[in-house]
Amino acid sequence: MNTFPLFFKFTDQPILIVGGGEVAQRKADLLSRAGAHITIVAPQISHEIRELLGDDKHSLITAEYDKQYLAGKRIVIAGTDDEALNHQVHADCQALNIPVNVVDTPPLCDFIFPAIVDRSPIVIGISSNGKAPVLARLTRARLETLIPQGYGKLAKLAGDMRDEVKSKIPTLTGRRQFWEKAFEGKVSELMFAGRSVEAEQALKQQLEQTHQQLSSKHGDDEQANTKPVGEVYIVGAGPGDPELLTFKALRLMQQADIVYYDALVSDEVLDLCRRDADKVFVGKKRSNHAVAQQNINQMMIDAANTGKRVVRLKGGDPFVFGRGGEEIQAMRAANIPYQVVPGITAANAAACYTGIPLTHRDHAQSVRFVTGFLKSGEPNQGFDSLTNPKETIVFYMGLHSIERLTTGLMDAGRDKDTPIAIVSHASLPTQQVMTGTLEDIVAKHEANPLPTPALLIVGEVAKLHDELAWYGEHISDSDQQAHALNMV
């Protein structure tokens, strides 16, 4: 982040705006809505500003700028079309250590005015750090259509009842779950429909029911019976591009108290989890398991048993070589509620982002996903069933065994000229693709090795990459030859 987003209280705070035209009017309008005491200094002040700031709370000074007007001001805005004057205001503010914004001049700004979505008390600010203000405004317009106007009233109702909820639900986790249920259920729907009185009644009824449930527990088992019920969400994080997450995945990631994540989960996806959630790395790479699977299972069970909402964030899809099935078996045995959210598996992402359709009426009528290694860590040697020339084979975890896999396929009867593609970092900006045949791909990769994670796509469809590719970098034969010469 080049700038850090903060929300300041400007109620009754003195602010100076240098300029009396349209630009100054726009800033004055925003700051007056925030409750600021605004002083305008300019030789000419527009009629619109005089109407906007016509009460005794604000000051309009028809005069040339002088640094004496900076005294006691919290922030200063320079909104004139006089470049020399704007630079002078900036220099004077710097000397007095007063934050200043020179409109449309990012190098002279200590702070930036964001595009604002106002659902007070919910306020969203969007900034491009001065690089693309039009894009920030378009983003704001999109958010305006997605966020109901009732959000503000819903937030106000929550604020009004916050103390009462705190007194009746003693635990932080319990209160969080209470509010999540309210904000995602009947209460919010009533508020969004404009039925605010009914929404308030529904919220109070929900609170009373929760309070009665907690109060009705007695005896030595009271703590066990009243603790919030935890849940485990096994979420497919997709291939790495955060735009490929499902809405449900994002919603559950935002609710998590703790996140256990794999090595294949990108930083961009992890950043979308709730900011204050605990994030625990339990990743696995070839021959290097940070945490054994049975230990991961127990960690999730233990966290859920304390009432936490647990997200198990897995690269790709949990049920495609993701051990999701083993994990829900463990949850079921421990009587832990769970949900599974599908994700875009690497094979689909690699196919779509490289222009290699996994099935095609002219080339392949079926597709098979195959792992390079079995549960015991032994190599997968089942090549006899992979010889159909009209079937696409996708090897997961196969790059380090590419020589064994290609040789095994040819020995089993697959044609040596069968096309093959290596897709590295599928869907990410670092994606690379290398194509060849079963006979020559090993030599090509040795000459110009691609990084993991990567998978192999074997079959006639791989030759369509040159025609249909639209994303990322393709390692052409000329690139490979040049790289090989440089290695000599």
Neighbour tally for 4: CB within 10 Å: 6
Which residue in 240, 289, 281 sits closest to 259, CA to CA?
281
Which residue in 454, 431, 444 sits closest to 479, CA to CA?
444
What distances in angstroms separate CA 63 from CA 39, 41, 107, one per listed residue? 12, 6, 27
CB 108 within 8 A of CB 90: yes
CB 441 within 8 A of CB 465: no
Structure tokens at 245: 């997450």
What distances in angstroms separate CA 238 from CA 4, 207, 266, 343, one per listed residue? 29, 37, 9, 5
Whole-angstrom distance between the N-terminal and C-terminal Cα of the chain? 43
Which residue in 321, 315, 370 sits closest to 343, CA to CA?
315
What distances in angstroms separate CA 30 from CA 34, 53, 363, 456, one per listed residue? 7, 12, 61, 55
Neighbour tally for 27: CB within 10 Å: 20
CB 125 within 8 A of CB 116: yes
Known binding residues: 22-23, 43-44, 239, 315-317, 320, 345-346, 397, 426
Region of 240 on the Ramachandran plot (φ > 0 left; ψ -120 to 50 alpha; else beta): left
Which residue in 351, 369, 350 sits closest to 360, CA to CA?
351
The DSSP symbol for 229 reads P
Catalytic residues: 262, 284
Known binding residues for NAD(+): 22-23, 43-44
